[in-house]
Amino acid sequence: MKRINLIFIMMTMLLISINITKAQEITNLKLSGELFTDQRLLLQEQNDWAWNENRLTLNLDKKITGNSRFYSEIWLRNMGLPNISSSADLYNKSIVDPYNLEVREAYVQLLGFLTDNLDIKVGRQRITWGTGDKLNPTDNLNPYDLEDVLDFGRHRGSDAISFDYYFNSEFSLQGAYIPFFQPATMPVGIFANALNPTLELPQGMTLNGFTDQTKMPEYNLSESTTTGLKFKGFAAGFDFSLSYVWGIDGMPVATYNTFSPADTLGAININSQLSFYRTHIFGADLAGSIGGIGVWAEAAAFLPESKVVMTNDLSAMYPMSPVPVTQDTTVLDKEAYVKFVLGADYNFANGTYLNIQYLHGFINERGTDNLNDYFFVQLERNFFDDKLKIAPLAGGFIVSDWNDVGNNYALIYIPEASYMATDNAEIILSAAIFDGKGENVFANLGEYNMMMFKLKYSF
């Protein structure tokens, strides 16, 4: 009874204190957000639905004191289409009406912490690095959110502690410590296999079944930690930064494949063990303006901490062999490879905006010999008092082998028209057309040409 009373008193006090706090501070709390719908239809016959996303974003921003602030971004989403296979599924709301709740960011920021020049952030946060436009080889602290491969630069927030130390108005040092490793989230829906490498089987074998296990790093200081440091400055008219990350690549690699026969005709089953590997990342970027043209460059050198080897265990294929039959293949040498982006943009006097970027090495590419070249362009112009924006030329050209471009290329064409129906409501109509041959992310999306309709309402 005493225990119940104590709990009751504590609950009452908590409620009172919450209400007092509310009364005192409600005026400081800013609630804003966005209602967003993203609908995509394939251009093929029957026009299958390719994407259904309905997202409510809630942003809470509260200045707690003059020197501290709370911020959060939460997504409540209806994502995907109902996938009902039995009557039992009809009793499950999460199958009939798939939705999820995602805390994108939730942190407290302390400004002028201990010293006037130091700001710290504690909690789930997005730490954006790099000067490129959505293509940022140096942006490696947060895990990639690759759910939508057409939204290249999206990352999730990480539970982290970070600081910014300002030496003066032009030079600063940023650091971040992320105690727990979080892997990248992979593409979903029709893009699910977009980033999966093609499986090459020995001659005469056909794949019957594939399973895998993913080995996560141990959750301790030495295995799961990611840290990063960045020095930022401004000199000779350019913003620049130098950075270093001791991290873990967020996309796993197959390190041990066990082959077993499924029948006597050459069909096999493969069980693959996927692992994550540690890497050092040295980054540099700059941004500025030359002759009225905005320019930026960003490069990251990735140095795996050790050689990454994939072992194919064929022992089950050769039961008479007295020793295990294995083949080792080097996936990644312990040597640096560099991804980089060069970009420029220009605003013409008539209101036309042009943005061009060259990227060497996409998100999922690793190793000097496996980095492809990507050329992206965006030409847009505003009409009707900037209410209508049309981008007739938008997309990219990808080359995966310069010696045989005709068989190793991809074209992406994403024209777009967006209209600000009101101050807060934007309607976007666009298409995505893919064409290509060979081994690259976009070459094999040809059957997924689509129309896209998006609506954003900010509040």
Compute the least distance from the CB of residue 225 to other proteins, in Å.
23
**Cα separation of 100 and 444, whole Å?**
29
Nearer to other proteins, 28 or 196 (CB): 28
Question: Which of 47, 52, 37, 214 minimizes the C-alpha distance to 147?
Answer: 52
**Residues with Cβ within 8 Å of residue 329, at least 6 apart in sequence:** 309, 310, 311, 312
Nearer to other proteins, 157 or 250 (CB): 157
Nearer to other proteins, 418 or 430 (CB): 418
Nearer to other proteins, 53 or 365 (CB): 53
Amino acid found at 374: Y
Question: Which of 335, 252, 343, 251 minimizes the C-alpha distance to 301?
Answer: 335
- Summarize as ranges the residues that interact with other proteins (CB under 8 A): 32-34, 69, 111, 119, 126, 128, 164, 166, 169, 172, 239, 287-289, 292-295, 345-349, 351, 385-386, 420, 423-424, 426, 456, 458-459
Compute the least distance from the CB of residue 410 to other proteins, in Å.
26
Nearer to other proteins, 61 or 435 (CB): 61
**Cα separation of 377 and 343, whole Å?**
10
Nearer to other proteins, 288 or 415 (CB): 288
Compute the least distance from the CB of residue 295 to other proteins, in Å.
8
Compute the least distance from the CB of residue 285 to other proteins, in Å.
11
Compute the least distance from the CB of residue 426 to other proteins, in Å.
7
**With 0-12 CB in 10 A as exposed, 13-18 as middle and 19+ as buried, what is 133?**
buried
Compute the least distance from the CB of residue 227 to other proteins, in Å.
20
Compute the least distance from the CB of residue 458 to other proteins, in Å.
4
Compute the least distance from the CB of residue 133 to other proteins, in Å.
9
Nearer to other proteins, 74 or 111 (CB): 111
Nearer to other proteins, 61 or 333 (CB): 61
Compute the least distance from the CB of residue 282 to other proteins, in Å.
20
Amino acid found at 367: G
CA 149 to each of CA 95, 153, 191, 382, 432: distance values in angstroms, whole numbers, following the listed order: 24, 9, 7, 27, 12
3-state helix, strand, coil in the chain (%, to 5): 15, 55, 35
Amino acid found at 297: A
Quick one: tokens of 456? 């954003």
**Cα separation of 199 and 329, whole Å?**
14
Nearer to other proteins, 336 or 425 (CB): 425
The DSSP 8-state label assigned to residue 339 in this structure reads: E
Contact 228, 244 (CB under 8 A): yes
Q: ∠ at Cα 31 (79, 21), nearest 5°?
A: 125
